[in-house]
Structure 1
Amino acid sequence: MSTRHYSFIDRLLNQADQSLRTLVPGAAQAQRPSPAQHLANVPLDAEERRHIAGLMRINHTGEVCAQALYQGQALTAKLPEVREKMEHAAAEEIDHLAWCEQRLGELGSHTSVFNPLFYGMSFGMGAAAGLISDRISLGFVAATEQLVERHLDDHLNQLPEEDIKSRAILEQMREDEIEHGHAALEAGGSVFPPPVMQAMALLSKVMTKATYKA
């Protein structure tokens, strides 16, 4: 069976479709069941629910950014195998997106109003990285996943012990993010110097502060 080769216009239209699936509430469909689907909801007071929802909203927006990053990189990646890696990682990140959105609904909360803004910024950065080189593009993935892993560790520490549903989701997300980061480096990604990592961490802090409540 021959492999179909998509034109740049085909890929651009696919990106538009993926953008809508990422940004429209309820449009993201997970391929894997949520790790929390068989776990019981436990009683939480209003303050706990508010705080957990804030953390899950941050993580949901992080997955929106990840989708945009991968899609931007896939659009401009030079090597087909690199493009395939980006698209595969994006597919797994859709699971995270759907799981976080579902949990936010269970908590009676909402996704961030800033998602379109952060999607556009992340898509632009991903596309720019892909235009520079595939090594930089893959390195950007690895660096981003390192930051996400730190966020998840922090959020897991902040969750109430009784909130086993949110914990199960974040633990599976952490496992997947570590795998994506390692795969990007093994595929030839550059290791970014500390100043670049610090700048990325600063941008990440802006995103978390903006999305915690809104």
Structure 2
Amino acid sequence: MRTLSLLDKVLTEIDQSLRVVHATAPTTERPNPAAEMPETAPLNEDDRILVAKLMRINHAGEVSAQGLYRGQALTAKREDIREQMERSAMEENDHLNWTEKRLHELGGRKSLLNPLFYWGSFTIGAVAGKIGDKWSLGFVKETEDQVIKHLEEHINRLPPHALSDMAILQKMKADEQHHADIAMQSGGAKLPFLARKLLMPLLSKVMTKSTYYV
């Protein structure tokens, strides 16, 4: 297999970012959890607007996750860690496509800030990977913990009859927990207190609050 040059890698990442933000990124072909859900009464207008906004937040979170994992995979030092990051990125693409499909069904739109979130997360991931695999994996754990927290909040805010949305978010939550677990099992280090308790929650809050409206 030919070794990729720096230019090859840059072009690959630009192509990936365009697929994530503007097209359809490659997935694992796992079935959409909403596909097996029975039909229920349509959401009223207020519920439809609420669910669409929540799905936009979760879609933007998956865009950020793509950037994070791609950046970490690019600078990972161990080949097994790189492969693990790439596999997690593929599974996050499933979430990306599920939430985008649901957004379209609800008449919602994707966040206008998605390109910013992708490249911001990519940069953070690349820096984390450059510092060291154990810190990169620890960053995955803390990121997933924040994602799980927001998913739980969104699940609790869903209307009781929004069964399709519930199925998607529950499956996403299970996947995020799996990603957090394997990150620590692979040698992830616990991040410093300030990063865990101040920086990560702050970044998460900025993303969720902004995409709720934009």
TM-score (norm 2): 0.94
Deviations 1:12-53 (A, max 9, x none): 3322221111010x4235421210013225311111111111
Aligned length: 210
1:142 counterpart residue number = 141
For 2:4, the equivalent position in structure 1 comes to 7
Letter in 1 for 2:4: S
Per-residue CA distance 1:141-190 (angstroms, 9 max, x = gap):
11100110101011000001100000000000000000000000000011
Structure 1: gaps (5+ residues):
none
Q: Which residue of the partner structure matches residue 188 of structure 1?
A: 187
Contact 2:16 2:25 in 1 (8 A): no
Correspondence for 1:23? 21
Q: Specify whether residues 191 and 115 from structure 1 end up closer, same or farther in structure 2 by C-alpha distance, changes over 3 A only.
A: same
1:8 positional shift: 4.5
Aligned partners of 1:41 and 1:165 also within 8 Å: no
Partner of 1:46: 45
Q: Alpha carbons of 1:185 and 1:108: their partners in 2 closer, same or farther (altered >3 Å)?
A: same
Give the corresponding residue for 1:120.
Answer: 119
Please say if residues 70 and 89 of structure 1, whose CA atoms lie closer than 8 Å, have aligned partners that are also in contact: yes
- Between the aligned residues of both structures, percent identity stands at 49
Partner of 2:203: 203
Cα 1:124/1:83, change in 2 over 3 Å: same
1:34-183 → structure 2 map (5 Å cutoff): 34-39=32-37, 40=39, 42-183=41-182
Alpha-carbon distance between aligned partners in 2 of 1:148 and 1:188, rounded to the nearest angstrom: 21
SS of 2:35's partner is coil
CA distance in 2, matches of 1:29, 1:41: 31
SS at match of 2:119: helix
